[in-house]
Structure 1
Amino acid sequence: MTHGVDLVDIEDMHRLVETPLGSQLHRTFTQGELDACGEGRLRLERLAGRLATKEAVMKALGLGFGDGVGFPDIETVNLDSGAPTIVLHNRVAEMAKQAGVDRWLVSTSHTDKVAFASVIGLTAA
C-alpha cells in the first residue's frame, strides 16, 4: 500500500485556466477530464481537485517530473456510482505495475480556496 496527498490553491488554478496559453490545460488534463469538469462556477474547483489527485498519485508512487511522466498520464475518471478513481497511462502505468499497485482509493474535497486529494494505491494481497 502507498499513500499520497496534495493541496491545490484555487487562485493558482484560476491563473492556469485564464492564461493566454490555453493549451496548458490540454498539457495537464485529458479531454475526458476537461469534459467531466464542464463549465460554470464549480469548474475551477473540479479542475483543482483533479490536479491535486494527479500530484498525490505521483507522490504515492515516488515519482517526479523528468521521469518521463506527464500529467495526462494520470487520469481521474468517475465510476458509475460517481466515485472518483484513477486510470494510469504510459510510463506511470508501468511504474505502478512494478510497484504492485493495481487499484486506487481516491478522496477529494474543495472549498472556494483550496482543493485537497488523498490517494491510496492498493496492492494485491
Structure 2
Amino acid sequence: MIGIDLIKTSRMDHLIERFGEKALLKFLSENEIKLVKNNKTAAGFWAVKEAVSKALGVGIGSQCSFHDILISKTAKGAPKIKLSEKITQEFNVKNASISITHDGEYAIAVAAIEVT
C-alpha cells in the first residue's frame, strides 16, 4: 500500500507561530521534536504521518493517530518510522518505509506499507 502527502511549509510556519511547541506536540513525540531542525523539517514530518495513515487507508483519526507513527533517523540520517503495536497488529504490517523531500515552499512524503 502506498500513501503520499504534500504540505505547504508556510502552513507549518503559521501553526508554530500561533501555538509554539504545543503545535509540535500535537503530532510529534518529544524525541521527534529533537530531530526537528526548522519548520520545513516539521512540515516534512507532518507529511510523513499523513502519508503513512493514507497508505493504511484510514487517514489520521480514531483508527490511526499521529502518535501511532514514530519517526527517527538511521545512522546515516535517513528518516525511518516505527508503527505502534496497535497499528502493526490491526493492519498486519510487515514492513514500512518512507521518503521525504522538500522543494521551495513544499514538503512531500511517500510511505510504502507491506502487509501480510
CA distance in 2, matches of 1:8, 1:78: 21
Give CA deviations for 1:41-87 in whole Å, capped at 9, x if unaligned: xx111111100000001101112344253212211111112221111
RMSD: 1.8
SS in structure 2 of the partner of residue 52 of structure 1: helix
SS in structure 2 of the partner of residue 19 of structure 1: helix
| Structure 1 residues not aligned, in runs of 5+ | none
TM-score, normalization by structure 2: 0.87
Partner of 2:52: 57
CA distance in 1, matches of 2:78, 2:89: 22
Relative to structure 1, is the Cα distance of residues 63 and 96 closer, same or farther in structure 2, using a 3 angstrom cutoff?
Answer: farther
Mapping for residues 61-80 of structure 1, pairs under 5 Å: 61-80=56-75
Partner of 1:18: 17
CA distance in 2, matches of 1:61, 1:118: 12
Mapping for residues 77-88 of structure 1, pairs under 5 Å: 77-88=72-83
How far the C-alpha of 1:103 sits from its partner, in A, is: 1.8
TM-score, normalization by structure 1: 0.82
Relative to structure 1, is the Cα distance of residues 120 and 66 closer, same or farther in structure 2, using a 3 angstrom cutoff?
Answer: closer
SS in structure 1 of the partner of residue 11 of structure 2: helix
Matched-pair identity in %: 29
Partner of 1:33: 32
How far the C-alpha of 1:21 sits from its partner, in A, is: 5.7
| Structure 2 residues not aligned, in runs of 5+ | none
